[in-house]
């Protein structure tokens, strides 16, 4: 029984040494720190504070009578020529 325990300890130590050599801190950089292999589509998930910010449109009440809304059937008019 002691031979089996010694063999198991030896295998465990050998496997631990092998895995420590393969996955040493300097040999394989973390995926999210390696910008050469980091796909751009993962950026918002890696750092949520750099994700795209959506801004609301600016509404000006130029005639000072409040903001009027229209129905969907009336459509939208953008006066690009001012």
Query: Tell me: the pLDDT tens digits for 49-67?
Result: 666 667 777 888 888 888 8
pLDDT of residue 15: 84
> Which residue has 């969907």 as its token pair?
72
Q: Which domain holds residue 32?
A: 1-50
Is residue 30 within 8 A of residue 36, CB to CB? The reply is: no
| Tokens 């609301």 belong to residue | 56
Euclidean distance between CA atoms 39 and 32, whole angstroms: 9
- Model-level pTM? 0.30
Domain count, the chain: 1
Q: Are 33 and 26 in contact (CB under 8 A)?
A: no
Residue 39 falls within a domain, yes or no?
Answer: yes
Query: Considering the domain boundaries, does residue 23 fall inside one?
Result: yes
Give pairs for 71-75: CB < 8 Å, separation 24+.
Answer: none
């Amino acid at each position: 029984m002691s031979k089996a325990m010694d063999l198991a300890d030896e295998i465990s130590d050998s496997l631990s040494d092998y895995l420590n050599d393969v996955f040493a801190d300097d040999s394989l950089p973390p995926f999210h720190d390696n910008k050469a292999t980091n796909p751009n589509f993962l950026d918002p998930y890696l750092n949520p504070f750099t994700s795209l910010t959506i801004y609301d449109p600016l509404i000006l009440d130029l005639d000072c009578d409040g903001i009027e809304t229209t129905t969907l059937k009336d459509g939208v008019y953008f006066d690009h020529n001012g």
